[in-house]
Structure 1
Amino acid sequence: MALVTIVYLISLEYGLREYINESAEFFDVQLIYSWTWMWDFIVMAIFVVAALSIFFGKRWIRIAPAGPIFLTGTAIILSLDAFFPYDTLGPLQYVVPYFVQANVWLVTVLDLGTAVARDNVMFLRGDHGSMALQVFWPSAGVHSIIIFSLVIGAFMLKLNIPRKRKAVYFVLGIIGTITVNLIRIFSLSWYALKVTTDPVAWEEYHKIAGEIMFLPWLFAFILVVVIIESRRLKKSEK
Protein backbone atom coordinates (compact mmCIF):
# COMPACT_ATOMS: atom_id res chain seq x y z
CA MET A 1 0.00 0.00 0.00
CA ALA A 2 2.89 2.32 0.75
CA LEU A 3 4.29 1.61 -2.72
CA VAL A 4 0.95 2.45 -4.33
CA THR A 5 0.79 5.73 -2.42
CA ILE A 6 4.35 6.64 -3.41
CA VAL A 7 3.60 5.80 -7.05
CA TYR A 8 0.50 8.00 -6.89
CA LEU A 9 2.43 10.95 -5.46
CA ILE A 10 5.21 10.61 -8.02
CA SER A 11 2.74 10.16 -10.89
CA LEU A 12 1.14 13.49 -10.04
CA GLU A 13 4.26 15.17 -11.39
CA TYR A 14 4.23 13.08 -14.56
CA GLY A 15 0.79 13.69 -15.97
CA LEU A 16 -1.61 12.21 -13.43
CA ARG A 17 -2.50 15.62 -12.03
CA GLU A 18 -3.41 16.85 -15.51
CA TYR A 19 -5.48 13.71 -16.12
CA ILE A 20 -7.39 14.28 -12.87
CA ASN A 21 -7.98 17.90 -13.85
CA GLU A 22 -9.30 16.87 -17.25
CA SER A 23 -11.58 14.25 -15.73
CA ALA A 24 -13.32 16.98 -13.76
CA GLU A 25 -15.16 18.09 -16.88
CA PHE A 26 -16.48 14.57 -17.47
CA PHE A 27 -17.95 14.48 -13.96
CA ASP A 28 -19.28 18.04 -14.27
CA VAL A 29 -17.09 19.25 -11.42
CA GLN A 30 -17.28 22.97 -10.73
CA LEU A 31 -14.15 23.53 -8.63
CA ILE A 32 -11.01 21.89 -9.96
CA TYR A 33 -8.81 22.47 -6.91
CA SER A 34 -11.27 20.77 -4.58
CA TRP A 35 -11.54 17.88 -7.04
CA THR A 36 -7.77 17.30 -7.19
CA TRP A 37 -7.25 17.71 -3.44
CA MET A 38 -10.12 15.30 -2.83
CA TRP A 39 -8.17 12.51 -4.54
CA ASP A 40 -5.07 13.32 -2.50
CA PHE A 41 -7.03 12.88 0.71
CA ILE A 42 -8.77 9.74 -0.54
CA VAL A 43 -5.43 8.10 -1.31
CA MET A 44 -3.96 9.15 2.03
CA ALA A 45 -7.06 7.94 3.89
CA ILE A 46 -6.86 4.54 2.21
CA PHE A 47 -3.15 4.33 3.01
CA VAL A 48 -3.60 5.23 6.68
CA VAL A 49 -6.52 2.84 7.15
CA ALA A 50 -4.59 0.04 5.45
CA ALA A 51 -1.50 0.69 7.57
CA LEU A 52 -3.49 0.79 10.81
CA SER A 53 -5.35 -2.38 9.83
CA ILE A 54 -2.07 -4.19 9.23
CA PHE A 55 -0.62 -3.13 12.58
CA PHE A 56 -3.71 -3.31 14.78
CA GLY A 57 -6.36 -5.23 12.86
CA LYS A 58 -9.92 -4.16 13.59
CA ARG A 59 -8.73 -2.63 16.87
CA TRP A 60 -7.46 0.44 14.99
CA ILE A 61 -10.99 1.85 15.17
CA ARG A 62 -10.60 2.12 18.95
CA ILE A 63 -6.87 2.83 19.02
CA ALA A 64 -6.35 5.51 16.36
CA PRO A 65 -9.56 6.65 14.65
CA ALA A 66 -8.76 10.39 14.55
CA GLY A 67 -6.38 10.33 11.57
CA PRO A 68 -8.61 8.32 9.22
CA ILE A 69 -11.65 10.34 10.30
CA PHE A 70 -9.83 13.60 9.55
CA LEU A 71 -8.64 12.41 6.13
CA THR A 72 -11.95 10.84 5.15
CA GLY A 73 -13.94 13.79 6.47
CA THR A 74 -11.78 16.22 4.53
CA ALA A 75 -12.20 14.15 1.36
CA ILE A 76 -15.98 14.20 1.80
CA ILE A 77 -16.01 17.95 2.40
CA LEU A 78 -13.84 18.52 -0.68
CA SER A 79 -16.20 16.38 -2.74
CA LEU A 80 -19.13 18.49 -1.57
CA ASP A 81 -17.21 21.62 -2.46
CA ALA A 82 -16.31 20.19 -5.87
CA PHE A 83 -19.81 19.06 -6.84
CA PHE A 84 -21.87 21.62 -4.89
CA PRO A 85 -19.75 24.78 -4.86
CA TYR A 86 -20.38 28.26 -3.54
CA ASP A 87 -23.80 28.58 -1.88
CA THR A 88 -25.38 25.49 -3.43
CA LEU A 89 -25.60 23.78 -0.05
CA GLY A 90 -27.87 26.23 1.74
CA PRO A 91 -27.62 24.84 5.29
CA LEU A 92 -23.83 25.08 5.29
CA GLN A 93 -24.02 28.62 3.93
CA TYR A 94 -26.50 29.77 6.57
CA VAL A 95 -23.97 30.93 9.17
CA VAL A 96 -21.66 32.69 6.72
CA PRO A 97 -23.38 36.13 6.81
CA TYR A 98 -22.91 36.21 10.58
CA PHE A 99 -19.20 35.52 10.17
CA VAL A 100 -19.01 38.27 7.56
CA GLN A 101 -20.78 40.76 9.81
CA ALA A 102 -18.43 39.95 12.69
CA ASN A 103 -15.43 40.44 10.44
CA VAL A 104 -16.67 43.79 9.16
CA TRP A 105 -17.20 44.93 12.73
CA LEU A 106 -13.65 43.88 13.64
CA VAL A 107 -12.13 45.66 10.64
CA THR A 108 -14.04 48.81 11.55
CA VAL A 109 -13.09 48.68 15.23
CA LEU A 110 -9.40 48.23 14.39
CA ASP A 111 -9.63 51.00 11.78
CA LEU A 112 -7.90 48.93 9.11
CA GLY A 113 -9.93 50.43 6.30
CA THR A 114 -13.49 50.61 5.06
CA ALA A 115 -15.59 47.46 5.24
CA VAL A 116 -19.23 46.97 4.35
CA ALA A 117 -21.16 43.70 4.52
CA ARG A 118 -24.07 42.64 2.39
CA ASP A 119 -25.21 39.08 2.98
CA ASN A 120 -22.08 37.00 2.26
CA VAL A 121 -20.20 39.75 0.42
CA MET A 122 -17.65 42.13 1.94
CA PHE A 123 -16.76 45.37 0.20
CA LEU A 124 -13.30 46.42 1.33
CA ARG A 125 -11.25 49.54 0.71
CA GLY A 126 -7.72 49.70 2.06
CA ASP A 127 -4.18 50.78 1.31
CA HIS A 128 -4.14 49.19 -2.14
CA GLY A 129 -7.59 50.04 -3.41
CA SER A 130 -10.94 48.30 -3.30
CA MET A 131 -11.87 44.65 -3.37
CA ALA A 132 -15.11 42.73 -3.01
CA LEU A 133 -14.89 39.36 -1.28
CA GLN A 134 -17.72 36.88 -1.61
CA VAL A 135 -17.48 34.37 1.21
CA PHE A 136 -18.84 30.85 0.85
CA TRP A 137 -18.97 28.12 3.46
CA PRO A 138 -15.55 26.54 2.72
CA SER A 139 -13.80 29.91 2.95
CA ALA A 140 -15.66 30.64 6.18
CA GLY A 141 -14.31 27.41 7.62
CA VAL A 142 -17.67 25.70 8.10
CA HIS A 143 -16.06 22.49 6.90
CA SER A 144 -13.44 22.73 9.64
CA ILE A 145 -16.19 22.80 12.27
CA ILE A 146 -17.60 19.58 10.82
CA ILE A 147 -14.19 17.91 10.64
CA PHE A 148 -13.27 19.11 14.13
CA SER A 149 -16.52 17.67 15.49
CA LEU A 150 -15.81 14.29 13.91
CA VAL A 151 -12.18 14.11 15.02
CA ILE A 152 -12.76 15.36 18.55
CA GLY A 153 -15.84 13.18 18.86
CA ALA A 154 -13.72 10.13 18.09
CA PHE A 155 -10.98 11.37 20.41
CA MET A 156 -13.42 11.91 23.27
CA LEU A 157 -14.76 8.38 22.92
CA LYS A 158 -11.29 7.11 23.80
CA LEU A 159 -10.94 9.26 26.91
CA ASN A 160 -11.92 7.61 30.14
CA ILE A 161 -13.33 10.73 31.76
CA PRO A 162 -16.81 11.84 32.90
CA ARG A 163 -19.27 12.73 30.16
CA LYS A 164 -19.73 16.24 31.50
CA ARG A 165 -16.02 16.95 31.10
CA LYS A 166 -16.10 15.48 27.61
CA ALA A 167 -19.00 17.80 26.77
CA VAL A 168 -17.09 20.79 28.15
CA TYR A 169 -14.04 19.96 26.05
CA PHE A 170 -16.21 19.47 22.98
CA VAL A 171 -18.03 22.79 23.40
CA LEU A 172 -14.79 24.66 24.10
CA GLY A 173 -13.28 23.06 21.01
CA ILE A 174 -16.18 24.16 18.81
CA ILE A 175 -15.96 27.70 20.20
CA GLY A 176 -12.23 27.69 19.54
CA THR A 177 -12.75 26.43 15.99
CA ILE A 178 -15.29 29.17 15.30
CA THR A 179 -12.79 31.70 16.64
CA VAL A 180 -10.09 30.31 14.36
CA ASN A 181 -12.49 30.61 11.43
CA LEU A 182 -13.20 34.24 12.30
CA ILE A 183 -9.45 34.85 12.42
CA ARG A 184 -9.20 33.15 9.03
CA ILE A 185 -11.77 35.47 7.45
CA PHE A 186 -10.16 38.45 9.16
CA SER A 187 -6.75 37.49 7.79
CA LEU A 188 -8.19 37.30 4.27
CA SER A 189 -9.66 40.76 4.73
CA TRP A 190 -6.42 42.10 6.20
CA TYR A 191 -4.49 40.72 3.23
CA ALA A 192 -6.76 42.61 0.85
CA LEU A 193 -6.69 45.77 2.95
CA LYS A 194 -2.99 45.93 3.76
CA VAL A 195 -1.06 43.70 1.36
CA THR A 196 -2.64 43.52 -2.08
CA THR A 197 -5.90 43.60 -3.98
CA ASP A 198 -4.43 41.63 -6.85
CA PRO A 199 -6.83 38.68 -7.32
CA VAL A 200 -4.10 36.20 -8.26
CA ALA A 201 -1.87 37.01 -5.28
CA TRP A 202 -4.85 37.08 -2.94
CA GLU A 203 -6.06 33.70 -4.20
CA GLU A 204 -2.65 32.16 -3.51
CA TYR A 205 -2.92 33.28 0.10
CA HIS A 206 -6.53 32.14 0.28
CA LYS A 207 -5.56 28.60 -0.73
CA ILE A 208 -3.34 28.08 2.30
CA ALA A 209 -4.82 30.42 4.92
CA GLY A 210 -7.39 27.98 6.22
CA GLU A 211 -5.31 24.87 6.70
CA ILE A 212 -2.30 26.63 8.23
CA MET A 213 -4.62 27.89 10.96
CA PHE A 214 -6.97 24.96 11.46
CA LEU A 215 -4.51 22.07 11.62
CA PRO A 216 -2.24 23.63 14.29
CA TRP A 217 -5.34 24.50 16.31
CA LEU A 218 -6.69 20.95 16.04
CA PHE A 219 -3.44 19.34 17.17
CA ALA A 220 -2.85 21.98 19.86
CA PHE A 221 -6.31 21.41 21.30
CA ILE A 222 -5.83 17.65 21.44
CA LEU A 223 -2.40 18.12 23.03
CA VAL A 224 -3.77 20.47 25.70
CA VAL A 225 -6.57 18.03 26.55
CA VAL A 226 -4.07 15.17 26.82
CA ILE A 227 -1.79 17.21 29.08
CA ILE A 228 -4.66 18.31 31.34
CA GLU A 229 -6.08 14.82 31.68
CA SER A 230 -2.64 13.30 32.24
CA ARG A 231 -2.01 15.69 35.11
CA ARG A 232 -5.44 15.00 36.59
CA LEU A 233 -4.73 11.27 36.41
CA LYS A 234 -1.36 11.66 38.15
CA LYS A 235 -2.94 13.72 40.93
CA SER A 236 -5.69 11.15 41.45
CA GLU A 237 -3.10 8.37 41.76
CA LYS A 238 -1.21 10.12 44.55
Structure 2
Amino acid sequence: MNWNLVIGIIITSSPILFAFAMSPESFDMSWNQGRGDFLFALVFVVAELVGLKIVISQKRLILTLPLVAVMISYFIALEHGLKDYLLESSKAYDIQLIDSWVWMWDFMLMSLFTIAVLSIYFGTRWIRIAPAAPIFLGGSAVILSLDAFFPYDSLGPLQYVVPYLVQTNVWLVTLFDLGTAVARDNVMFLKGDFGGMALQVFWPSAGIHSIIIYSLVMGAFLLKMNIPRNRKSVYFALGIAGTIGVNVIRIFSLSWYAMKVTTDAEKWEAFHDIAGGIMFLPWLFVFLFIVIFVETRRAKKSEYVKNEITA
Protein backbone atom coordinates (compact mmCIF):
# COMPACT_ATOMS: atom_id res chain seq x y z
CA MET A 1 0.00 0.00 0.00
CA ASN A 2 1.18 3.52 -0.86
CA TRP A 3 1.10 4.86 2.71
CA ASN A 4 2.53 8.26 1.79
CA LEU A 5 -0.36 8.73 -0.63
CA VAL A 6 -2.82 7.75 2.10
CA ILE A 7 -1.22 10.31 4.42
CA GLY A 8 -1.42 12.84 1.59
CA ILE A 9 -5.16 12.24 1.22
CA ILE A 10 -5.63 12.66 4.98
CA ILE A 11 -3.64 15.91 4.97
CA THR A 12 -5.63 17.29 2.03
CA SER A 13 -8.90 16.34 3.72
CA SER A 14 -7.98 17.45 7.24
CA PRO A 15 -9.27 21.08 7.10
CA ILE A 16 -12.69 19.87 5.94
CA LEU A 17 -12.77 17.15 8.59
CA PHE A 18 -11.71 19.67 11.24
CA ALA A 19 -14.40 22.15 10.18
CA PHE A 20 -17.02 19.38 10.31
CA ALA A 21 -15.90 18.25 13.77
CA MET A 22 -15.86 21.81 15.07
CA SER A 23 -19.12 22.98 13.52
CA PRO A 24 -21.23 20.16 12.01
CA GLU A 25 -24.28 22.41 11.89
CA SER A 26 -22.48 24.62 9.35
CA PHE A 27 -22.56 21.78 6.80
CA ASP A 28 -25.96 22.75 5.48
CA MET A 29 -26.63 21.23 2.06
CA SER A 30 -28.05 24.41 0.57
CA TRP A 31 -25.57 25.89 -1.87
CA ASN A 32 -25.31 29.32 -0.19
CA GLN A 33 -26.28 28.41 3.35
CA GLY A 34 -23.30 26.38 4.53
CA ARG A 35 -20.35 24.12 3.84
CA GLY A 36 -22.26 21.06 2.70
CA ASP A 37 -20.50 21.06 -0.66
CA PHE A 38 -17.19 20.59 1.17
CA LEU A 39 -18.21 16.95 1.64
CA PHE A 40 -18.56 16.49 -2.11
CA ALA A 41 -15.17 18.11 -2.64
CA LEU A 42 -13.84 15.59 -0.12
CA VAL A 43 -15.26 12.75 -2.21
CA PHE A 44 -13.56 14.20 -5.29
CA VAL A 45 -10.21 14.30 -3.47
CA VAL A 46 -10.45 10.69 -2.31
CA ALA A 47 -11.83 9.37 -5.61
CA GLU A 48 -9.09 10.96 -7.70
CA LEU A 49 -6.14 10.18 -5.45
CA VAL A 50 -6.92 6.63 -4.30
CA GLY A 51 -5.06 4.07 -6.34
CA LEU A 52 -2.46 6.40 -7.81
CA LYS A 53 0.96 4.83 -8.26
CA ILE A 54 2.76 8.12 -7.71
CA VAL A 55 4.92 8.21 -4.59
CA ILE A 56 4.77 11.43 -2.56
CA SER A 57 7.97 12.05 -0.63
CA GLN A 58 7.90 12.73 3.11
CA LYS A 59 9.49 16.11 2.46
CA ARG A 60 6.56 17.14 0.29
CA LEU A 61 4.10 15.91 2.91
CA ILE A 62 5.84 17.98 5.60
CA LEU A 63 5.81 21.08 3.37
CA THR A 64 1.99 20.99 3.31
CA LEU A 65 1.57 21.01 7.11
CA PRO A 66 1.88 24.82 7.47
CA LEU A 67 -0.94 25.18 4.92
CA VAL A 68 -3.11 22.87 6.99
CA ALA A 69 -2.32 24.97 10.07
CA VAL A 70 -3.37 28.14 8.21
CA MET A 71 -6.71 26.65 7.15
CA ILE A 72 -7.46 25.27 10.61
CA SER A 73 -6.54 28.64 12.12
CA TYR A 74 -8.97 30.29 9.71
CA PHE A 75 -11.86 28.04 10.78
CA ILE A 76 -11.05 28.67 14.45
CA ALA A 77 -10.82 32.43 13.84
CA LEU A 78 -14.28 32.41 12.26
CA GLU A 79 -15.71 31.30 15.60
CA HIS A 80 -13.78 33.99 17.47
CA GLY A 81 -14.65 37.20 15.70
CA LEU A 82 -13.55 36.77 12.08
CA LYS A 83 -17.06 35.93 10.91
CA ASP A 84 -18.38 39.09 12.56
CA TYR A 85 -15.68 41.05 10.76
CA LEU A 86 -16.71 39.53 7.42
CA LEU A 87 -20.34 40.38 8.13
CA GLU A 88 -19.38 43.95 8.94
CA SER A 89 -17.14 44.26 5.89
CA SER A 90 -20.05 43.38 3.61
CA LYS A 91 -21.47 46.86 4.23
CA ALA A 92 -18.46 48.47 2.57
CA TYR A 93 -19.32 46.68 -0.68
CA ASP A 94 -23.09 47.11 -0.34
CA ILE A 95 -23.57 43.34 -0.23
CA GLN A 96 -27.24 42.36 0.01
CA LEU A 97 -26.88 38.57 0.13
CA ILE A 98 -24.61 38.35 3.16
CA ASP A 99 -24.66 34.54 3.37
CA SER A 100 -23.17 34.26 -0.11
CA TRP A 101 -20.49 36.78 0.87
CA VAL A 102 -19.48 34.92 4.03
CA TRP A 103 -19.43 31.41 2.54
CA MET A 104 -17.58 32.70 -0.52
CA TRP A 105 -14.44 33.08 1.62
CA ASP A 106 -14.64 29.49 2.87
CA PHE A 107 -14.83 28.07 -0.64
CA MET A 108 -12.22 30.42 -2.07
CA LEU A 109 -9.67 29.60 0.63
CA MET A 110 -10.36 25.86 0.46
CA SER A 111 -9.89 25.98 -3.29
CA LEU A 112 -6.56 27.80 -2.92
CA PHE A 113 -5.55 25.33 -0.20
CA THR A 114 -6.23 22.25 -2.34
CA ILE A 115 -4.44 23.79 -5.33
CA ALA A 116 -1.40 24.60 -3.17
CA VAL A 117 -1.29 21.14 -1.56
CA LEU A 118 -1.75 19.26 -4.83
CA SER A 119 0.90 21.46 -6.45
CA ILE A 120 3.35 20.50 -3.70
CA TYR A 121 2.50 16.83 -4.17
CA PHE A 122 2.50 16.64 -7.96
CA GLY A 123 3.74 19.95 -9.37
CA THR A 124 1.78 21.21 -12.37
CA ARG A 125 0.68 17.61 -13.05
CA TRP A 126 -2.12 18.07 -10.49
CA ILE A 127 -4.20 19.60 -13.29
CA ARG A 128 -4.25 16.21 -15.02
CA ILE A 129 -4.18 14.05 -11.88
CA ALA A 130 -6.71 15.59 -9.49
CA PRO A 131 -8.40 18.76 -10.77
CA ALA A 132 -11.99 18.07 -9.75
CA ALA A 133 -11.94 19.21 -6.09
CA PRO A 134 -10.08 22.53 -6.65
CA ILE A 135 -12.26 23.34 -9.66
CA PHE A 136 -15.45 22.40 -7.83
CA LEU A 137 -14.50 24.53 -4.81
CA GLY A 138 -13.24 27.41 -6.96
CA GLY A 139 -16.33 27.31 -9.16
CA SER A 140 -18.54 27.41 -6.07
CA ALA A 141 -16.56 30.43 -4.79
CA VAL A 142 -17.03 32.24 -8.11
CA ILE A 143 -20.77 31.56 -8.13
CA LEU A 144 -21.11 32.75 -4.53
CA SER A 145 -19.20 35.92 -5.37
CA LEU A 146 -21.48 36.59 -8.35
CA ASP A 147 -24.50 36.05 -6.11
CA ALA A 148 -23.04 38.41 -3.51
CA PHE A 149 -22.06 41.24 -5.87
CA PHE A 150 -24.87 40.81 -8.42
CA PRO A 151 -27.87 39.68 -6.36
CA TYR A 152 -31.23 38.49 -7.60
CA ASP A 153 -31.69 39.32 -11.32
CA SER A 154 -29.04 42.04 -11.67
CA LEU A 155 -26.75 39.70 -13.63
CA GLY A 156 -28.69 39.76 -16.88
CA PRO A 157 -26.91 37.07 -18.96
CA LEU A 158 -27.41 34.39 -16.30
CA GLN A 159 -30.99 35.49 -15.65
CA TYR A 160 -31.87 35.40 -19.37
CA VAL A 161 -32.82 31.71 -19.52
CA VAL A 162 -34.84 31.71 -16.28
CA PRO A 163 -38.21 32.72 -17.85
CA TYR A 164 -37.94 29.73 -20.21
CA LEU A 165 -37.43 27.38 -17.26
CA VAL A 166 -40.38 29.01 -15.48
CA GLN A 167 -42.60 28.54 -18.54
CA THR A 168 -41.52 24.89 -18.76
CA ASN A 169 -42.47 24.40 -15.13
CA VAL A 170 -45.92 25.97 -15.65
CA TRP A 171 -46.45 23.55 -18.55
CA LEU A 172 -45.50 20.60 -16.33
CA VAL A 173 -47.77 21.76 -13.49
CA THR A 174 -50.65 21.95 -15.97
CA LEU A 175 -49.73 18.59 -17.53
CA PHE A 176 -49.80 16.80 -14.16
CA ASP A 177 -52.90 18.73 -13.03
CA LEU A 178 -51.37 19.91 -9.76
CA GLY A 179 -53.45 23.08 -9.73
CA THR A 180 -53.34 26.45 -11.42
CA ALA A 181 -50.04 27.97 -12.54
CA VAL A 182 -49.39 31.22 -14.38
CA ALA A 183 -45.98 32.64 -15.35
CA ARG A 184 -44.97 36.24 -15.83
CA ASP A 185 -41.30 36.69 -16.68
CA ASN A 186 -39.48 35.03 -13.74
CA VAL A 187 -42.50 34.92 -11.40
CA MET A 188 -44.87 31.96 -11.00
CA PHE A 189 -48.31 32.35 -9.49
CA LEU A 190 -49.37 28.98 -8.09
CA LYS A 191 -52.69 27.88 -6.61
CA GLY A 192 -53.05 24.41 -5.15
CA ASP A 193 -54.59 22.48 -2.28
CA PHE A 194 -53.44 24.95 0.38
CA GLY A 195 -54.10 28.25 -1.37
CA GLY A 196 -51.97 30.50 -3.52
CA MET A 197 -48.26 31.25 -3.52
CA ALA A 198 -46.09 33.44 -5.74
CA LEU A 199 -42.55 32.26 -6.46
CA GLN A 200 -39.95 34.58 -7.91
CA VAL A 201 -37.12 32.63 -9.51
CA PHE A 202 -33.59 34.01 -9.85
CA TRP A 203 -30.69 32.33 -11.66
CA PRO A 204 -29.16 30.55 -8.63
CA SER A 205 -32.53 29.10 -7.63
CA ALA A 206 -33.09 28.03 -11.25
CA GLY A 207 -29.89 25.99 -11.05
CA ILE A 208 -27.83 28.04 -13.52
CA HIS A 209 -24.95 27.84 -11.03
CA SER A 210 -25.06 24.04 -11.21
CA ILE A 211 -24.69 24.14 -15.00
CA ILE A 212 -21.60 26.34 -14.65
CA ILE A 213 -20.08 24.11 -11.96
CA TYR A 214 -20.90 20.99 -13.98
CA SER A 215 -19.18 22.48 -17.02
CA LEU A 216 -16.03 23.20 -15.04
CA VAL A 217 -15.85 19.83 -13.26
CA MET A 218 -16.82 17.75 -16.28
CA GLY A 219 -14.42 19.66 -18.50
CA ALA A 220 -11.55 18.89 -16.13
CA PHE A 221 -12.67 15.28 -15.78
CA LEU A 222 -12.87 14.68 -19.53
CA LEU A 223 -9.52 16.38 -20.03
CA LYS A 224 -7.92 13.54 -18.06
CA MET A 225 -9.57 10.77 -20.06
CA ASN A 226 -7.72 9.21 -22.96
CA ILE A 227 -10.70 8.92 -25.29
CA PRO A 228 -11.55 10.44 -28.71
CA ARG A 229 -12.59 14.07 -28.73
CA ASN A 230 -15.98 13.36 -30.30
CA ARG A 231 -16.92 11.03 -27.41
CA LYS A 232 -15.81 13.70 -24.94
CA SER A 233 -18.12 16.15 -26.69
CA VAL A 234 -21.03 13.70 -26.54
CA TYR A 235 -20.51 13.06 -22.83
CA PHE A 236 -20.25 16.78 -22.13
CA ALA A 237 -23.43 17.57 -24.06
CA LEU A 238 -25.35 14.73 -22.40
CA GLY A 239 -24.24 16.00 -19.00
CA ILE A 240 -25.42 19.53 -19.79
CA ALA A 241 -28.79 18.18 -20.93
CA GLY A 242 -29.05 16.04 -17.80
CA THR A 243 -28.15 18.96 -15.54
CA ILE A 244 -30.81 21.14 -17.16
CA GLY A 245 -33.27 18.27 -16.68
CA VAL A 246 -32.37 18.02 -12.99
CA ASN A 247 -32.98 21.76 -12.62
CA VAL A 248 -36.38 21.46 -14.29
CA ILE A 249 -37.25 18.64 -11.86
CA ARG A 250 -36.04 20.79 -8.95
CA ILE A 251 -38.25 23.76 -9.88
CA PHE A 252 -41.17 21.39 -10.44
CA SER A 253 -40.61 19.79 -7.01
CA LEU A 254 -40.66 23.23 -5.38
CA SER A 255 -43.95 23.99 -7.11
CA TRP A 256 -45.37 20.61 -6.09
CA TYR A 257 -44.36 21.25 -2.48
CA ALA A 258 -46.17 24.60 -2.48
CA MET A 259 -49.29 23.21 -4.15
CA LYS A 260 -49.59 19.80 -2.49
CA VAL A 261 -47.77 20.03 0.86
CA THR A 262 -47.78 23.55 2.31
CA THR A 263 -47.70 27.23 1.50
CA ASP A 264 -46.10 28.03 4.84
CA ALA A 265 -43.15 30.22 3.84
CA GLU A 266 -40.80 28.92 6.53
CA LYS A 267 -41.43 25.24 5.75
CA TRP A 268 -41.25 25.85 2.02
CA GLU A 269 -37.95 27.72 2.41
CA ALA A 270 -36.48 24.81 4.38
CA PHE A 271 -37.38 22.46 1.52
CA HIS A 272 -35.99 24.94 -1.01
CA ASP A 273 -32.67 25.11 0.84
CA ILE A 274 -31.95 21.41 0.43
CA ALA A 275 -33.68 20.60 -2.87
CA GLY A 276 -30.82 21.80 -5.08
CA GLY A 277 -27.93 19.99 -3.42
CA ILE A 278 -29.71 16.67 -2.96
CA MET A 279 -30.55 16.55 -6.66
CA PHE A 280 -27.64 18.09 -8.56
CA LEU A 281 -24.61 16.65 -6.77
CA PRO A 282 -25.82 13.02 -6.71
CA TRP A 283 -26.66 13.41 -10.40
CA LEU A 284 -23.13 14.67 -11.08
CA PHE A 285 -21.56 11.69 -9.30
CA VAL A 286 -23.90 9.20 -10.99
CA PHE A 287 -23.14 10.63 -14.41
CA LEU A 288 -19.38 10.58 -13.80
CA PHE A 289 -19.68 6.97 -12.61
CA ILE A 290 -21.60 6.02 -15.76
CA VAL A 291 -18.94 7.62 -17.97
CA ILE A 292 -16.16 5.80 -16.11
CA PHE A 293 -18.08 2.50 -16.26
CA VAL A 294 -18.79 2.77 -19.99
CA GLU A 295 -15.24 3.78 -20.88
CA THR A 296 -13.73 1.06 -18.67
CA ARG A 297 -15.85 -1.57 -20.42
CA ARG A 298 -14.92 -0.17 -23.81
CA ALA A 299 -11.22 -0.26 -22.89
CA LYS A 300 -11.45 -3.87 -21.67
CA LYS A 301 -13.34 -4.93 -24.78
CA SER A 302 -10.80 -3.18 -26.99
CA GLU A 303 -7.94 -4.87 -25.15
CA TYR A 304 -9.66 -8.26 -25.47
CA VAL A 305 -10.14 -7.82 -29.23
CA LYS A 306 -6.55 -6.69 -29.59
CA ASN A 307 -5.30 -9.77 -27.75
CA GLU A 308 -7.49 -12.03 -29.88
CA ILE A 309 -6.11 -10.54 -33.08
CA THR A 310 -2.55 -10.88 -31.79
CA ALA A 311 -3.15 -14.49 -30.83
TM-score (norm. length: structure 2): 0.73
Query: How much has 1:128 moved relative to structure 2?
Result: 2.1
Query: How much has 1:209 moved relative to structure 2?
Result: 1.7
Give the partner amino acid of 1:111. D
Give the partner amino acid of 1:214. F
Distance 1:138 1:55 in 2: 35
Distance 2:194 2:78 in 1: 37
Give the % identical residues: 71
Greater mean alpha carbon deviation, residues 15-24 or residues 225-234: 15-24
Give the partner amino acid of 1:66. A
Match of 2:181 among 91, 97, 115: 115
Deviations 1:176-214 (A, max 9, x none): 000011111112112211222222222222222212211
SS of residue in 2 equivalent to 1:115: strand
Match of 2:149 among 83, 88, 97: 83
Distance 2:113 2:271 in 1: 29
Write the mapping of 1:85-104 to structure 2, written as runs, cut at 5 A: 85-104=151-170
Cα 1:223/1:199, change in 2 over 3 Å: same
SS of residue in 1 equivalent to 2:297: helix
SS of residue in 2 equivalent to 1:170: helix
Give the partner amino acid of 1:112. L
Question: In the alignment, is residue 225 of structure 1 matched against residue 291 of structure 2?
Answer: yes
Give the partner amino acid of 1:57. G
Query: How much has 1:89 moved relative to structure 2?
Result: 1.2
5+ long unaligned stretches in structure 2:
1-66, 305-311
| Number of residue pairs the alignment of both structures matches | 238
Write the mapping of 1:200-211 to structure 2, written as runs, cut at 5 A: 200-211=266-277
Match of 1:41 among 107, 121, 134: 107
Deviations 1:80-108 (A, max 9, x none): 11110111111111110110011111111
SS of residue in 2 equivalent to 1:124: strand
**Aligned position for 1:185:** 251
Q: CA RMSD of the aligned region, Å?
A: 1.4
Distance 1:113 1:2 in 2: 53
Match of 1:175 among 225, 231, 241: 241
Distance 2:253 2:88 in 1: 33
Distance 1:164 1:151 in 2: 18
Question: In the alignment, is residue 124 of structure 1 matched against residue 190 of structure 2?
Answer: yes
Query: How much has 1:134 moved relative to structure 2?
Result: 0.5
Cα 1:10/1:135, change in 2 over 3 Å: same
TM-score (norm. length: structure 1): 0.95
Distance 1:32 1:129 in 2: 31
Distance 1:122 1:224 in 2: 35
Q: Which has the larger radius of gyration?
A: 2
SS of residue in 2 equivalent to 1:139: coil
Distance 1:144 1:125 in 2: 28
Cα 1:185/1:157, change in 2 over 3 Å: same
Greater mean alpha carbon deviation, residues 187-196 or residues 90-99: 187-196
Distance 1:45 1:147 in 2: 13
Distance 2:279 2:78 in 1: 26
